[in-house]
Chain A
Amino acid sequence: MKTSADLDSSLYQRLDDYIESVKEKPGILINVLHKAQEIFGYLPDEVLEYVAEKLDVPVSKVFGVVTFYNFFSRKPKGKYQIKICLGTACYVKGGDKVFERFLEELEVEPEEPTKDGLFSVHPVRCLGACSMAPVVLVGEKDFYGRLTPNDVPSLIKKYREG
Chain B
Amino acid sequence: MKPVVVLVSVDSNSVLKGAREYKNLLIDLVEEYNLSSVVDVLETGSFGVYLDGVLLEVLPDGIYYLVKSSSDVREIVEEHLLKGRRVFKLEVPPEKVRAGVVEKIEVPQETRVVLRNAGVIDPTNIKEYIARDGYAALAKALTEMKPVDVIEEMKKSGLRGRGGAGFPTGLKWEFTFKVDADQKYVLCNADEGEPGTFKDRLIMEGDPHSVLEGMAIAAYAVGANKGYIYIRGEYYESVRNIRKAIEDAYEYGLLGDNIMGTDFSFHVSVRLGAGAYICGEETALMESIEGKAGRPRLKPPYPPVSGLFGKPTVINNVETFANVAPIILNGADWFRSMGTESSPGTKVFTLVGNVVNRGLVEVPMGTTVRELIYVFGGGVEGGRKLKMVQTGGTAGTFIGTDKLDTPLDYDSFTKYGVSIGSGVILVIDERHCAVDIAKNVLGFFAHESCGKCSPCREGTRVALQTFDRLSKGLAKKEDIEYLWTLADVMQQASLCGLGQSVPVPMKSLLQNFADEMEAHLKKECPTGVCKFVKEKPRRPVLR
Contacts and interface: CB of A to CB of B under 8 A. Distances in A.
A34 B437 contact: no
Interface string B270-288: 0111111100000000001
A3 interface: no
A34 B291 CA distance: 12
B291 A65 contact: yes
Contacts of B288: 30
Given A128-B201, A130-B358, A92 B289 contact: no
Contacts of A140: 236
A110 B543 contact: yes
A128 B444 contact: no
Contacts of B309: 26-27
B195 A34 contact: no
A106 interface: no
Given A30-B271, A34-B274, A127 B234 contact: yes
Q: Chain B contact residues (Cβ within 8 angstroms of A): what range?
A: 35 or more
B440 A91 contact: yes
Contacts of B197: 126, 128, 130
Interface in A99-133: 110, 123-133
Nearest to B451: A68
A131 B234 contact: no
Interface in A68-94: 68-72, 86-93
Contacts of B428: 92
Contacts of A88: 195-196, 353, 390, 394, 426, 437, 440-441, 444
A126 B193 contact: yes
Given A30-B291, A88-B437, A131-B359, A125 B448 contact: yes
A126 B432 contact: no
Given A27-B289, A28-B291, A125-B195, A92 B426 contact: yes
B290 A89 contact: no
Nearest to A62: B291
B374 to A, nearest CB: 17
Contact of B276 (A33, A70, A86, A89): A70
Interface string B424-452: 10101100100001001100100110100
B278 to A, nearest CB: 9
B313 to A, nearest CB: 13
Contacts of A137: 234
A136 interface: no
Contacts of A132: 358
Given A30-B288, A71-B233, A133 B358 contact: yes
A29 interface: yes
A101 to B, nearest CB: 16
B536 interface: no
Given A30-B271, A87-B444, A68 B293 contact: yes
A92 B359 CA distance: 16
A70 B193 CA distance: 12
Contacts of A70: 274-276
B193 A89 contact: no
Contacts of A129: 198
Contacts of A31: 271-272
Given A26-B309, A87-B196, A92-B437, A133 B353 contact: yes
Contact of A33 (B192, B274, B450): B274
Nearest to A37: B274
Nearest to B288: A30
A162 interface: no
Given A72-B274, A88-B196, A125-B195, A65 B293 contact: yes
A157 interface: no
B390 A125 contact: no
Contact of A34 (B233, B269, B440): B233
A158 interface: no
B274 A69 contact: yes
A119 B341 CA distance: 53
Contacts of B432: 92
Nearest to A132: B358
Contacts of B269: 25
A129 B292 CA distance: 28
B232 interface: yes
Contacts of B293: 64-65, 68-69
A141 interface: yes
B274 to A, nearest CB: 4
B274 A89 contact: no
A132 B350 CA distance: 12
Given A30-B288, A128-B235, 12 more contacts: A64-B292, A68-B294, A69-B274, A72-B274, A86-B440, A86-B543, A87-B196, A88-B353, A89-B352, A92-B353, A126-B197, A132-B358
Q: Which 10 A-B pairs have the closest CB atoms?
A: A87-B195, A70-B275, A69-B274, A29-B291, A27-B291, A71-B275, A68-B293, A131-B358, A71-B274, A126-B195
Interface of A: 25-31, 33-34, 61, 64-65, 68-72, 86-93, 110, 123-133, 137, 140-141
